[in-house]
A and B are shown apart, each in its own frame.
Chain A
Amino acid sequence: MKKLIAVVLISVFCLSSCVEDEVPGLQKTNVSLNFKHNWDGAAITNANFNTDKYFTAEGDELSIEKLRYLISSVTFHKENGEAIVVEGYNLVDVTNNENQSYVAPIQVPIGVYTNVSFTFGFDNTDNIEGAYTDLNSASWNVPMMMGGGYHFMQLEGKFINNVATEVGYQYHTIKAVNNTDPMNLVFQDTFFTVNLGEVIVHNDSSIDVNMNIAEWFKGPYQWKLNDWHSMLMPNFDAQVKMYDNGQNVFSLGTVN
């Protein structure tokens, strides 16, 4: 009987502790976003770089040597329309296995969110020329002749071209710019919002964000590396196509 009472008391204590820890909207918690990468489902880390080969939708065989990209303004959307915006940014560096887990710099109330989103790259308010010392130190800048500010992504490697020769590619995404007339640059926004969908935030929640790298080459524009593999930063049309293809790149993974 004593044992039974002890078990009941411990259970009640544990239960009450849990309830106390996870009162929706009252208690705040750390939330981390873990960026994971794949090629149509096959996991990719920097261990796969250089050696492993992948085929694009167009049939181009490529390798990956560098991948880093910028995300900013993670936002937690409530059903009532309220949004909790986490100011800040994170440069995901897959090549060097750095910043692939991003702990939001503010705590977020535990509870149900109808959507968690972030910006791929910087929006125009945040994309300030030379403003961020860590990004400057990482040589992440875009030259002023292309509008300044910062890169959104650098994906590099080699592919086999149409004469069976291995050639480098540099799939760099920035704000699209037509700099044909240096005195009159024409821009088009290419940052975009990634909507991950509903997320239930628990204590110390961990949200996996998956990037399917193959999607950058898949659709709606089926990328032809033979046509576009190099000097893509000042290529306005290429940047717009990258923006289009980027819409399907990210998805929500496991949430803990």
Chain B
Amino acid sequence: MKKVFYIVVTLLFLCCSKDDSGATPAEYVPTPLALDIPPLFNQKILPPIIPFANPQTVEGVALGKKLFFDTILSADSTQSCASCHASANAFTDASQFSDGIDGVFGNRNSMPLFNMAWNYDEKFFWDGRSFGLEQQALEPVKNPIEMHNTWGQAVTDLQNTSDYPNLFQVAFGSSVITKELVTKAIAQFERTLISGGSKFDKHLLGTVTLTAQELNGFSVFMDETKGDCFHCHGSNNNPLWTDNDFHNNGLDAVFIDIGLGEITGDPADNGKFKSPSLRNLAFTAPYMHDGRFNTLDEVINHYSEGLQNSPTIDPLMKKVAEGGVHITAQEKADLKAFLFTLSDYDFINNPAFQN
């Protein structure tokens, strides 16, 4: 009996000794990377949304940047994310519509990419159809009029490269590439695309003085009896310059594209599209979800006298029966001057965002 006892104790000891030998590898943890949050954002608005399942890391952002600019994700390796989201244009396309790898054009203007971690409802695209940046990034690769690839093929191509498996290993602790890891990396990079250094930001921080015309334009923007832009497009207290909500802003009396209504199935949402941020307008023409306006003058004229009535027009589109709020030519010029102060040259020239 004693022999059995000693054998059992010895075995237990050996088992314990084996466990304590350090053979179990520690879980791999990439290097955490905090977002570079502009001071006004810290002061004025809620913190950014970063999914618990996809924390920002140095390695993840670097991988995401490489993927963003790499044409390998498209079926014929001719297009990358950057093909339709150029850094010089605040990551939108200077063309009204973007053509995919087969030369087929879409029907909406490419959305600019910045400050996406502050899209609190996490509804992405003009019609809000994707919840979360990671989900959004899934779509262009498989869209037949964009990259026209399959995720299976894209992942295989990445896996067969000499460098990507190792980059995924250091970013996520796995060299086995999946579409989920690809979109996580891209989303991490996209969350670093932060624009908070415009002339108006610097004015609010007290380091730059606006001209009289720019200040007058800000007054037109904030005046409910004139521009009344602030209800949907932020203010000096909301540096996102968007409410991240969906509105019918009176573009059409009859809709060709019903926008949010297509996603929700609610006719009350027909003709509604996401309010874009007014940051970086100097780089993001053409304007509106369908890029119908080539200049900011056309946009301002639309709100002043070009509104079209429809059943779902937003109640904030005042005086629609008269075409709009009818601001004067001087007020239009002032408003335009102010709007351009929201453009952030530091952002489009940031080397961290260039290929």
A residues with a Cβ closer than 8 A to B are 49-51, 65-66, 129-130, 133-134, 136-139, 141, 143-146, 156-158, 165-170, 230-231, 233-234
Contacts and interface: CB of A to CB of B under 8 A. Distances in A.
B316 A168 contact: yes
B16 interface: no
A139 B231 contact: yes
B238 interface: yes
Contacts of B223: 143, 145
A40 B38 CA distance: 48
Contacts of B311: 166
A65 B232 CA distance: 15
Contacts of A49: 268
Nearest to B275: A139
**Which secondary structure dominates where chain B touches chain A?**
loop
Contacts, number: 78
Interface in B222-243: 222-225, 228, 230-232, 234-238, 240, 243
Contacts of A168: 313-318, 320
A141 B235 contact: yes
With most chain A CB atoms within 10 A of its CB, the pick from B45, B223, B224, B238 is B224
Given A65-B315, A167-B321, 14 more contacts: A50-B268, A51-B268, A136-B44, A136-B45, A136-B237, A137-B46, A137-B118, A138-B243, A143-B222, A144-B236, A145-B222, A168-B317, A168-B318, A168-B320
B319 interface: yes
Given A136-B45, A137-B120, A145-B219, A165 B321 contact: yes
24 contacts: A50-B268, A51-B268, A133-B46, A136-B44, A137-B45, A137-B238, A138-B243, A139-B231, A139-B232, A139-B234, A139-B235, A141-B237, A143-B235, A145-B219, A145-B223, A156-B315, A156-B316, A165-B321, A168-B318, A168-B320, A170-B316, A231-B225, A233-B224, A234-B224
A234 B237 contact: no
**Which secondary structure dominates where chain A touches chain B?**
mixed
A133 B315 contact: no
Interface in B58-79: none
Contacts of B319: 230
B327 to A, nearest CB: 13
Contacts of B234: 139
Nearest to A95: B245
A136 B240 CA distance: 10
A196 B120 CA distance: 34
